[in-house]
Structure 1
Amino acid sequence: MINYIIRRIGYGLLILVGVNILTFILFFAVNTPDDMARMNIGGKRVTQDAIDKWKVERGYDKPLLWNDGAQGSQKLTNTIFFERSVPLFVLEFGSSDTGRDIGYELKKRVGPSIALAIPTFLLGIFVVVVFSLTLVFFKNTYLEFWGVALSVFLLSISGLFYIIVGQFFFSKLLKLVPISGFSGGGDIFLFLALPVLIGIVSRLGGEALFYRTMFLEEVGKDYVRTARSKGLSETVVLFRHVLRNALLPILTSTVAVLPLLFLGALIMESFFGIPGLGSFTIDAINGQDFAVVRSMVFVGSLLYIIGLILTDISYTIADPRIRLS
């Protein structure tokens, strides 16, 4: 197990290095430091002196990857890549192109993102699993037919539609919850109730169809027939035996959601005015703040790799037959 985890961490570090280098090349292949200076300073008539001053203040006056004018190891270290991208591996994010401390912004915004993402994630899994098992329980009935039809209908609708309709119906007409904003303390439930509900509904259709297919495959196996022959009720068979044996694909399908626990739903946070990491990323994209975007890409990659490692480890808990050497 320990050797396996060490190998996976090593692979993850190699992937992070590749993502970091690729992201850096893509960003600076599209925009030169001069272009970035013009976009951040603003205005059509920007003098070269103003551009040079902006680059010096933010460290963009150095070569990108190799400094021919430096001596020794400074040929590598005295570059934009080493000063702006390498520190990400020790979680030092530096300053944004607008002068803000990225690390401070991440610490300030991670709380609202977690407050939104964790209830959406956990309640979403619970609702989807129960709904899917209910469809399997009422197999070959009108309830299953209309449940599948509802899932296909929900799958066909854009998540943006749910947000607009939810804000109009629950906030503007019924006035049950605020239309947008965020507050700590007891009021947090009012501000997060609608985003969490929309997050659950928007993922219900596609995941319910996937889980239903997976559960139907499990129902046809020998251990299910054996459990039924022992006189166990259908509810016990489904929620104890079938669900337990389907944990591996469920764990695999939920790995991609892990980065959202911290990065947040980009569109959701923007529309509801939640000051989380998702809205921070959207604001950086709109403001052409490449330092923030690169940092968020790195954080997302890091979280996804951690999710893969945790999933592999959880396999041994969900299925004792699996042994990692």
Structure 2
Amino acid sequence: MLAYIIRRLLYALPILIGVNLITFALFFVVNTPDDMARMQLGVKRVTPEAIDRWKAERGYDKPLFFNDEASGSAMLSETIFFSKSVRMFVGDFGRAEDGRDIAREIVTRMGPSLAIALPTFIIGLLVSVSFALLLTFFRATYLDFWGVVLCVAMMSISGLFYIIGGQYLVSKLWKLVPISGYGGGLDAWKFVILPVLIGVVSGIGSSTRWYRTIFIEEIARDYVRTARAKGLAEAAVLFRHV
């Protein structure tokens, strides 16, 4: 297991580097440092001197990837890519253009994001797998048929409908939880429960159909036939082994 985790982490490193390179290149193709300066200073009546001064203050006066005016390692380090992008791999995210510490902003917002993402993932996984196992257990029956129809119907509904409908019904009409915002401490559940519920419900359709397909393919494996040949009940084979 440890070797598998290490191998996956090593696979992730070149992917992160590649995504970083592509994102950086696309960003500066669309948004040049001059465009960024004009956006910050105001498009009208901005002078070239003000643009140059803004770029120099924020390190955008350097070349993007390669500095042919420098020598040695400075040819790579004295670039926008190194100062703005490479340093992220050692945890130095720098500052936003308005002066905010990006690392502090990430830490501040990480708590509410994880408070919603982790329960949504865990509960959604349990519900989808359980529902898919139930449909697989009753495969080729009316329960399986109408279960798949329900999943397709839920997949066809936009996620925005679940969000707006949930806010309107649970928060505005029933007034059970706040409609927006976030509070720390013991009151956090009031702000988290509705987004988690909406996230789980909106993902049941696609996740259940996907797991059902996997389980139906899995029940034809040799180990399943062996378990059945030993006399194990279908429920034990499906819910324990598969």
Is TM more than 0.5 here? yes
Instruction: Please report the TM-score for the alignment, with normalisation by the length of structure 1.
Output: 0.68
AA in 1 matched with 2:90: V
Deviations 1:238-274 (A, max 9, x none): 11011xxxxxxxxxxxxxxxxxxxxxxxxxxxxxxxx
- Pairing 1:240-279 to 2, within 5 Å after superposition: 240-242=240-242
Aligned equivalents of 1:8 and 1:228: distance in 2? 35
Secondary structure at the aligned position of 2:104 is classed as: helix
Task: Tell me: CA distance 1:218–1:38, structure 2 relative to 1, closer, same or farther (3 Å).
Answer: same
Residue in structure 1 matched with residue 183 of structure 2 by the alignment? 183
Query: Residues 52 and 192 from structure 1, CA distance in 2 versus in 1: closer, same or farther, beyond 3 angstroms?
Result: same
Residues 1-325 of structure 1 aligned to structure 2 (within 5 Å): 9-242=9-242
1:60 maps to a residue whose letter is Y
More divergent stretch after superposition (90-99 vs 135-144): 135-144
Greater relative CO, 1 or 2 (CA 8 Å, sep 6+): 1
Q: AA paired with 2:124? A: G
Note the C-alpha offset of 1:231.
4.2
Change (3 A) 1:11 1:209: closer
Q: Tell me how far apart the structure 2 counterparts of residues 234 and 4 of structure 1 sit (CA, whole Å).
A: 32
Quote the residue 1:271 is aligned against: none
TM-score between both structures, scaled by the size of structure 2: 0.90
Call closer, same or farther: CA 1:26–1:141 in 2, change over 3 Å.
same
Amino acid paired to 2:45: R
Q: CA deviation at 1:24?
A: 1.7
Change (3 A) 1:222 1:20: closer
**Deviations for 1:9-65, whole angstroms, at most 9, x for unmatched residues?**
554333333222222211111121010111223343322233223212211122222
Q: Taking structure 1 as reference, are residues 211 and 85 closer, same or farther at Cα in structure 2, changes over 3 Å only?
A: same
Distance 1:228 1:196, change over 3 A: same
SS at match of 1:201: helix
In structure 2, what is the Cα distance between the partners aligned to 1:213 and 1:169?
A: 33
For 1:55, give the aligned amino acid: K
Distance 1:222 1:8 in 2: 28
Structure 1 residues 6, 199: closer, same or farther in 2, change over 3 A? closer
In the TM superposition, what is the alpha-carbon distance from 1:2 to its structure 2 partner?
Answer: 7.5
Deviation at 1:206, TM superposition (A): 0.9
- What letter is aligned with 1:172? K
Structural RMSD (CA): 2.2
Q: Specify the code of the residue in structure 2 equivalent to 1:217.
A: E
The letter of the residue matching 2:200 is: I
Which ranges in structure 1 are unaligned for 5 or more consecutive residues?
A: 243-325
The residue matched to 2:235 in structure 1 has which SS? helix
**Greater Cα offset, 152-161 or 133-142:** 133-142
User: In structure 2, do the counterparts of structure 1 residues 158 and 24 end up closer, same or farther at CA, with 3 Å as the change threshold?
Assistant: same
- The Cα of 1:6 is off from its aligned counterpart by 6.1
**Whole-Å separation in 1 of the counterparts to 2:11 and 2:192:** 37
Give the letter for the 1:165 counterpart: G
SS of residue in 2 equivalent to 1:203? helix
1:9 to 1:140, Cα distance in 2 relative to 1, 3 A:
closer
Pair 235,9 (structure 1): closer, same or farther in 2 beyond 3 Å:
closer
The worse-fitting range, judged by mean Cα deviation, of 13-22 and 209-218 is: 13-22
Cα distance, 1:136 vs structure 2:
1.4
